[in-house]
């Protein structure tokens, strides 16, 4: 009966080599198959924009870890929703968020949106007026002819004439007020009417006393001053054209509000449960509007969905369709029902985004069903952006852009080249050292470095396309450090084998005896490196995490390469005569290593046995 084949003392190294080669080829094939043939580069290597946002709040307790984490998630979803899928959003410290937008994304648009609070409220309109308006220069001719009426001759007819003149001018006043809305004549016509009204009033006032004395004095007395009459101020015109009733507590703020200034429009704030003054987001007929608004009736947090759409029926252009949740549906239906019974402008509903009025449409009846539409003469991009910030929610905090840094692609390319040159120099030094000192064994270390590099490159390329891992300059430094870690594992094993050879052991037994002790040292060393990388990744932020991630990845790959490639390959080479016989160029020459001669038996033969042999 044939005895079964016993397992070789040095195992089956060919199987381990076949496994790692299959894995390496598979990863490279997957890399080319998915099109991710290059690692994705961070902004410091490829160019891009880095935005630093600093949280601010009137309540210091509001700037906490929970709100910062919520804000980070919302900003990340906003930027990714714009198609900038390569952006990185990370917290730094207790009140700072770093947003990195690599080259190729819509950096300007993303920079505008990342810090937008996007607090949406629906507020009833209490009053509305144009802001920052100026009256055209009045002329004296119409007023002079008005005051020089033939009715000045009869003394008793002077007063009716003044009343008629004032009434004629006053007849324009309702039209001027109506022009503050989106209906009626243009604002320019209304301003002309407002400019004529004071002159007419002044003329009527001066005609009454002058008519009794002289009919010819009236034209001279009132016509000349009328041409130089005091021009009404912007505040007076705005007050004259105000529609609705401004609450007493807001009258001073409403009168002093000048929405024509960008800094004033951006500075308006108000509590959710109190009335406030606000500015329109866009000008209407060339002028911004200021509005007095009631407390928030519906909150933006009640919006469950927002999407842009093109109004093809009325030709109003792009708009944003909203869908409310259950709470918002009930509140919206109730408030619109109440507004529908009011008169303009108190039947209007202001849509307020970040304390600026996007639009304030009229409500003609209750709006049930939980749907609403925001119109504001949007472009397609503006409608998409507004839908984006509303869909992903409002930030729990306000943020200020404390720093915006842009790295040009040219500078990033220079840094990448410098990193690659440093890596190439490090690799060449390791290769030269291995060949000079270890000779034939140096080829094993070079082959191991090639396999490790192939695994690292393919995994980084796949991670870039899979989870968005971006290779930055610190990550390149981590990869360069990994060259030394991999070479160190080779050196530990090679020196253990040489120690066994110096003790006089043949090569194949030396390879087997050296492995347990070398394995223990390699595992302890790699475990310490991996632990440091893991701790650094957890406690650090920003680009330092790239260094930690790369260091941890390459350390794990070093264990794989040393177990599945280096040790099996040396086991196979030990069976070859070139290495087993200690060729001078093998790196395992016993004479060059100062090996001891093998110990032989020194027992002395007894005399009787020698005599028997001679006989």
Please tell me the predicted confidence (pLDDT) of residue 602. Answer: 45
Q: What is the pLDDT of residue 136?
A: 59
Give the model's pLDDT for residue 228.
47
Residue 55, classed as helix, strand or coil, is strand
The pLDDT value recorded for residue 276 is 92
121-135, 297-311, 407-421, 568-582: which has the minimum mean pLDDT? 407-421
* Phi, psi dihedral angles at 130 (to 5 degrees): -70, 155
Give the residue, 613 or 584, on which the prediction is more confident. Answer: 584
Query: If you search the block for the tokens 């609705």, which residue do you land on?
Result: 244
Cβ neighbours, 10 Å, residue 414: 12
Token output for 569: 């390959």
Q: Give residue 199's pLDDT.
A: 39
pLDDT at 529 (0 to 100): 92
Q: What is the mean pLDDT of residues 402-411?
A: 72
Once rounded to an integer, what is the mean pLDDT over residues 164-178? 33
According to the model, what pLDDT value does residue 554 have?
92
Query: Please, what is the average pLDDT of the chain?
Result: 75
State the Cα–Cα distance between residues 584 and 591, nearest whole angstrom.
Answer: 9
Going from the C-alpha of 513 to that of each of 496, 516, 518, 568, the distances in angstroms are 9, 7, 9, 14
Of 205-214, 522-531, 604-613, where does the model show the most confidence? 522-531
What number is the average pLDDT over the span 353-364?
81
Q: Is a pLDDT exceeding 80 seen at residue 195? A: no
Q: Which of 67-81, 218-232, 453-467 has the lowest mean pLDDT?
A: 218-232
Q: Which of 560, 408, 415 is closest to 474 using CA atoms? A: 415
Pairing relationship of beta strands 349-353 and 470-471 according to DSSP bridges: unpaired
**pLDDT on residue 526:** 92
Please indicate whether residue 574 or residue 164 has the higher confidence score (pLDDT).
574
Give pLDDT tens digits for 475-489: 888 888 888 888 889
Task: Determine phi and psi for 366, rounding to 5 degrees.
Answer: -60, 145
Instruction: Please state, in angstroms and as integers, the Cα–Cα distance from residue 572 to each residue in 202, 498, 579, following that order.
Output: 113, 17, 10
Looking at residue 560, its pLDDT comes to 94
Q: What is the pLDDT of residue 70?
A: 78
Q: DSSP string covering 436-487, please?
A: HHHTHHHHHHHHHHHHHHHHHHHHHHHHHHHT--EE-HHHHHHHHHHHHHHH
What percent of the chain has pLDDT above 90? 16
Check whether 469 has a pLDDT greater than 50: yes
Under the banding of pLDDT at 50, 70 and 90, the label for residue 598 is low
Radius of gyration from C-alpha coordinates of the chain: 43
Is residue 147 pLDDT above 60, yes or no? Answer: no
Question: What tokens does 186 get?
Answer: 């243009």
Mean of the pLDDT values across residues 133-148? 51
On the CB side of 257, how many CA atoms lie within 13 Å of its CA? 28
**For residue 414, what pLDDT is reported?**
79
Per-residue pLDDT band at 561 (split at 50, 70, 90) = very high
- Arithmetic mean of pLDDT, 373-378: 76
pLDDT value at residue 402: 77
- H or E segment at 56? strand 48-56
Q: What is the DSSP string of 367-378?
A: --SSEEEEEEEE
Q: What is the mean pLDDT of residues 346-371?
A: 84
pLDDT of 166 above 60: no
State whether residue 479 is helix, strand or coil. helix
* 528 pLDDT more than 90: yes
Going by C-alpha positions, the residue among 586, 566, 425, 390 that lies closest to residue 20 is 566
Contact 456, 482 (CB under 8 A): yes
pLDDT at 71: 82
pLDDT, one tens digit per residue, over 274-310 is: 999 999 888 877 888 999 999 999 887 788 888 889 8
Which of 195-209, 376-390, 416-430, 506-520 has the highest average model confidence (pLDDT)? 506-520
pLDDT value, residue 437: 87
Tokens 């990370």 belong to 90
Q: Which residues of 270-280 are buried (b: 16+ CB within 10 A; e: fewer)?
A: beeeebbbbbb
- Average of per-residue pLDDT across 401-413: 72
Model pLDDT, residue 441: 87
- Given this model, what pLDDT does residue 6 score? 52
Contact between 64 and 33 under an 8 Å Cβ cutoff? The reply is no
Quote the CA–CA distance of 366 and 413 in Å, as a whole number.
Answer: 60
- Confidence check: pLDDT of 494 > 50: yes
Backbone dihedral region of 47: left (phi > 0), alpha (psi from -120 to 50 degrees) or beta? left
Q: Which of 11-20, 48-57, 113-122, 159-168 has the highest mean pLDDT?
A: 11-20
Q: Is residue 48 within 8 Å of residue 101, measured between CB atoms? A: yes
With a cut of 90, say whether residue 555 has pLDDT above it.
yes
Q: Strand 356-359 and strand 276-280: pairing?
A: parallel
**pLDDT exceeds cutoff 60 at 613:** no
**How much is the pLDDT for 74?**
78
pLDDT at 204: 35
Q: Per-residue pLDDT for 189 more than 50?
A: no
Rounded mean pLDDT of 392-414?
A: 72
**Interval 98-105 mean pLDDT:** 70
Residue 143 banded pLDDT, cuts 50, 70, 90: very low
Question: What confidence score (pLDDT) does residue 476 get?
Answer: 85
pLDDT at residue 394, rounded to an integer: 64
SS3 536: helix
Q: What is the pLDDT of residues 235-288, one digit of tens each?
A: 677 778 888 999 999 999 998 888 888 888 877 778 888 999 999 888 877 888
Picking from 428, 376, 470, the residue whose alpha carbon sits closest to that of residue 48 is: 470
Rounded to 5°, the CA angle 198-138-257 comes to 65
Long-range contacts of 460-463 (CB under 8 A, 24+ apart): 460/39, 460/550, 460/553, 461/31, 461/36, 461/37, 461/38, 461/39, 462/27, 462/30, 462/31, 462/34, 462/36
- Give me the pLDDT at residue 542, please: 65
- Give residue for tokens 């390149």: 476
């Amino acid at each position: 009966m044939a005895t079964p084949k016993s397992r070789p003392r040095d195992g089956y190294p060919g199987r381990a080599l076949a496994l790692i080669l299959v894995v390496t080829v598979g990863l490279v094939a997957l890399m080319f198959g998915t099109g991710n043939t290059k690692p994705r580069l961070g902004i410091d290597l490829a160019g891009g924009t880095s935005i630093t946002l600093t949280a601010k709040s009137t309540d210091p307790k509001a700037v906490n870890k929970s709100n910062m984490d919520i804000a980070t998630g919302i900003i990340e979803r906003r930027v990714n929703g714009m198609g900038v899928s390569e952006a990185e959003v990370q917290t730094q410290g207790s009140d700072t968020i770093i947003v990195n937008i690599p080259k190729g994304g819509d950096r300007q648009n993303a920079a505008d949106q990342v810090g937008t609070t996007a607090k949406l409220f629906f507020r009833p309109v209490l009053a509305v007026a144009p802001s920052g308006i100026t009256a055209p220069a009045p002329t004296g001719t119409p007023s002079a002819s008005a005051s020089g009426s033939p009715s000045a001759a009869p003394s008793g007819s002077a007063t009716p004439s003044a009343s008629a003149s004032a009434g004629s001018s006053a007849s324009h006043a309702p039209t001027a007020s109506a022009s503050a809305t989106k209906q009626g004549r243009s604002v320019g016509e209304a301003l002309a009417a407002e400019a004529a009204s004071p002159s007419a009033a002044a003329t009527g006032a001066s005609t009454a006393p002058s008519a009794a004395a002289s009919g010819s004095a009236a034209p001279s007395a009132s016509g000349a001053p009328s041409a130089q009459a005091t021009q009404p101020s912007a505040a007076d015109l705005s007050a004259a054209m105000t529609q609705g009733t401004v609450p007493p507590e807001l009258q001073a703020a409403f009168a002093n509000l000048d929405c024509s200034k960008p800094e004033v429009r951006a500075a308006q704030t108000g509590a959710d449960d109190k009335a406030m003054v606000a500015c329109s987001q866009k000008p209407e007929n060339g002028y911004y509007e200021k509005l007095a608004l009631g407390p928030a009736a519906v909150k933006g947090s009640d919006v469950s969905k927002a999407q842009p759409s093109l109004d093809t029926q009325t030709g109003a252009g792009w708009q944003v369709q909203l869908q409310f949740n259950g709470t918002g549906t009930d509140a919206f239906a109730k408030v619109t029902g109440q507004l529908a019974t009011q008169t303009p402008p108190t039947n209007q509903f202001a849509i307020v985004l970040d304390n600026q009025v996007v639009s304030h449409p009229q409500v003609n009846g209750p709006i049930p069903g939980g749907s609403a539409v925001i119109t504001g003469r949007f472009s397609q991009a503006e409608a998409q952006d507004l839908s984006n910030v509303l869909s992903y929610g409002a930030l729990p905090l306000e943020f200020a852009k404390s720093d915006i840094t842009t790295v040009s692609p040219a500078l990033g390319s220079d840094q990448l080249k410098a990193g690659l040159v440093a890596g190439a120099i490090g690799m060449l030094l390791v290769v030269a050292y291995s060949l000079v000192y270890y000779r034939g064994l140096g080829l094993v270390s070079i082959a191991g470095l090639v396999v490790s590099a192939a695994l690292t490159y393919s995994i980084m390329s796949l991670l870039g396309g899979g989870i968005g891992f971006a290779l930055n300059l610190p990550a390149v430094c981590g990869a360069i450090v990994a060259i030394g870690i991999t070479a160190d594992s080779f050196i530990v094993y090679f020196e253990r084998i040489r120690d066994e050879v110096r003790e006089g052991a043949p090569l194949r037994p030396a390879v087997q005896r050296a492995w347990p002790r070398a394995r223990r040292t390699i595992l302890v060393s790699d475990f310490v490196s991996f632990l440091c990388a893991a701790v650094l990744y957890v406690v650090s932020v920003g680009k330092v995490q790239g260094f930690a991630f790369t260091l941890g990845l390459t350390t794990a790959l070093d264990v794989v390469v040393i177990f599945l490639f280096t040790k099996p390959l040396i086991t196979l080479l030990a069976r070859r005569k070139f290495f087993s016989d200690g060729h001078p160029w093998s790196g395992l020459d016993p004479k060059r290593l100062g090996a001891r001669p093998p110990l032989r038996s020194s027992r002395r033969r007894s005399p009787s046995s020698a005599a028997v042999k001679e006989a």
